[in-house]
Amino acid sequence: MEKELTVLERAKAWLSGSFDKETKAAVEKLIETNQTELTDSFYRDLEFGTGGLRGIMGVGTNRMNKYTVGMATQGLANYLKMMFPSLNPIKMAISHDSRNNSKYFAQIVAEVLSANGFKVFLFDDLRPTPELSFAIRQLGCQSGVMVTASHNPKEYNGYKAYWDDGAQMIAPHDENVIKEVQKITSIDDVKWTGLKENILSIGAELDKLYLDRVQALSLSPDSIRRQKALKIVYTPLHGCGRKLVPDILARFGFENIHMVKEQAVADGNFPTVRSPNPEEHDALNMAINLADEIHADLVMATDPDADRVGIAIRNHKKDMTLLNGNQTAALLFYYILLRWKELGKLQGNEFIVSTIVTTKLLSEIAASFDIEYFECLTGFKFIADVIRQNEGSKRYIVGGEESYGYLIGDFVRDKDAVSACALIAETAAWMADSGKSLFDLLLEIYQKYGFYKEGLISVTRKGKSGAEEIQQMMVEYRNTPPATINNSKVLIIKDYLLLKEKDLSTGKEKPINLPKSNVLQFVLADGSIISVRPSGTEPKIKFYFGVREKLMHVAEFDKTELRLNEKIADIIASMKLK
């Protein structure tokens, strides 16, 4: 009863405050007709997390709406004023994706920032996340906002907050912004009246500058000229990839691009997919059907804010097969490093970056080219941080993570599906130039470095008790780690919370030089690697599995893959996860 009263009081505050009539009417309707929705809408404040803001759209303190967006933006503005006290004006870039209300929220953000005296560069229409990152750097901004909820369901929206290097915020800025946002307790604390003279519309001129930089990444233009008729199917999944991906493919020289027409329409309802997530097989069904119809060899799909890409290619049986993020990364990394070597671009100070839960195949590829390999925590903002730390002394080539995000070149500091699509297509053309396919290249990589196979499962435990159970799982894994997993001895335990790596055979420990993160990693005698990572935002714990085996001959692919899949299944069973 006490909780209901608190919720009701919070809701009634929206009836008596400086809220617009439509909002008050919606709140009144919730009070009268939908107690469950009322509770969920008002039982807490929508959290501004380390990645920014994200939530279901609607009225209430726990929803994405004009007021929660405005309050969060005012907190961000206050922090920027503290950090750049002598700078006038502070400059911001703002973009948005195709989600429902994204353009409206972007306008709210622009008005609040302009009312605070900021100079705001607002894109005239939807643009991909990587272009927002590029614009921050290009225009000399101190921060930026991308209005998006990435690949979440249609009910969600949110925004990502960026720092002056074009990367999403990391410590201490992310945590300090959260503190400032929490200080905004009333909509009357927000400067709502925007100053039009402080808001500048940007668009085509930034598109050209950005696409020029992406086009300069091309490593095999001659191959593309010879293979310009390569059939490629592309789908933006109703998102903003439609704005630049077809343009960059045309700029690279590809002339046979087929868009999935039904999904080329920007639509925040995402009507043709269950989820606009290129990691999910269902999302690529329409594109694969079109590829089979026209006999295309490559399918690419980007998520709503066009920072991640999923692909499908023809396998050795000529069937379309979906690649996971690790496989796509292996193709990209290998192709780019090989071509840099062939073109004489390697000077000895280059490096690549990936994350602790991404395939170790990437480190093997780097070593074979004598390229320095950096490993960082999960999240592209940490890849961007490695780039920043080495700026001026080393040359960044490429980075990526298992969750379908890649970055070629350093003029953007977040995942970039626009450049990734261009270089994936170029890799296909380069292989076609010698009568081979992307799948042939994957087999070559497996033969050279070993057949690496990865798996991922998420274990969900609902509610408060579920969250506690997940934390207890981590405590038990940490305090009483398994001696063996799937009958293979655990040799090394990496604890990213305690920042210690322990060799169980010798008892020796050495430090891990990364920020703290609640992740455990077990390295087994047979070469298998299991990573355990709880979600920071929901009662879910993720288990990443990496296994490997030699691929003696391409004819052994199917049998080897079956054994590796069975091995992952056996590991899951031995850990009693299913």
* Helix 361-368 × helix 325-342 angle, to 10°: 10
Which candidate, 396, 395, 358, places its Cα nearest to that of 376? 358
Nearest 5 degrees, angle CA 218-CA 219-CA 220?
105
Which candidate, 539, 505, 537, 499, places its Cα nearest to that of 524? 505
Distance CA(445)–CA(432), nearest Å, equals: 16
SS (H, E, C) 427-480: HHHHHHCCCCCHHHHHHHHHHHHCEEEEEEEEEECCHHHHHHHHHHHHHHHHHC
Two tokens at 206?
Answer: 């930034």
Catalytic site residue from 95, 150, 223, 517? 150
CA distances 38 to 17, 61, 447, 464, Å, are 17, 10, 58, 20
CA distances 306 to 150, 209, 492, Å, are 8, 18, 38
CA distances 574 to 177, 519, 562, Å, are 43, 20, 18
Which candidate, 161, 135, 134, places its Cα nearest to that of 148? 161
Nearest 5 degrees, angle CA 510-CA 512-CA 516?
135
Two tokens at 258?
Answer: 């087929």
Contact status, residue 169 vs residue 177, Cβ threshold 8 Å: yes
Contact status, residue 288 vs residue 413, Cβ threshold 8 Å: no
List of residues 6+ apart from 108 with CB closer than 8 A:
66, 69, 70, 73
CA dihedral of residues 71, 180, 198, 192 (deg, nearest 10): 30
- Helix (H), strand (E) at residue 102: helix 102-115
DSSP letters spanning 159-194: EEEE-TTSSBP-TTHHHHHHHHHHH--SGGGS----
CA distances 333 to 279, 439, 534, Å, are 19, 15, 28
Strand partners, 533: 542
Active site residue 434: no
Which residues form the catalytic set?
150
